[in-house]
Amino acid sequence: MCLILSIFNNFCGIGIINIYATFIFETILKNGAISKLTAKQDTYFIGGATLIGSILSYYSIAIFSRRAIFIGGHFFMGALLVMSGYFISIKQAELVLLSLCCHIIIY
């Protein structure tokens, strides 16, 4: 069960964001969104969020219980992905970047 959940998480969340981040932001910018950052610069923020999330994950297990991390983390990641989709639909590139970075840090 844990292996299936892990594979599902990678194909639905973090893996897709890391692989297609440039494409996601290029598509948003082509559809009329106004942003001060290019798609390539946005992917640098995605990489930085991955680094911050990796560092924080080591310390979070000492502060929170595993159950709280599992349940709360999945809830917040799902909410942030829904928010990302909404921000894509209203063409707010900076808010998409913010919600995706928060998703990666929580992941």
Q: pLDDT per residue over 26-64, tens digit each?
A: 777 777 777 777 878 888 888 888 889 888 888 888 888
* Whole-number pLDDT of residue 12: 65
User: Quick count: other Cβ atoms within 10 Å of Cβ 91?
Assistant: 15
Q: By three-state DSSP, how is residue 38 classified? A: coil
pTM, 2 dp: 0.75
Q: How far is Cα 37 from Cα 94, in angstroms, rounded to an integer?
A: 8
Q: pLDDT per residue over 13-30, tens digit each?
A: 666 677 777 777 777 777
Q: For the residues 85-107, what does the mean pLDDT come to?
A: 86
Burial of 85 (0-12, 13-18, 19+ CB in 10 A): exposed
What percent of the chain shows pLDDT beyond 90? 5
For the chain, which residues make up each domain, given as ranges?
2-106
Q: How far is Cα 81 from Cα 65, in angstroms, rounded to an integer?
A: 24
Q: How far is Cα 95 from Cα 84, in angstroms, rounded to an integer?
A: 8
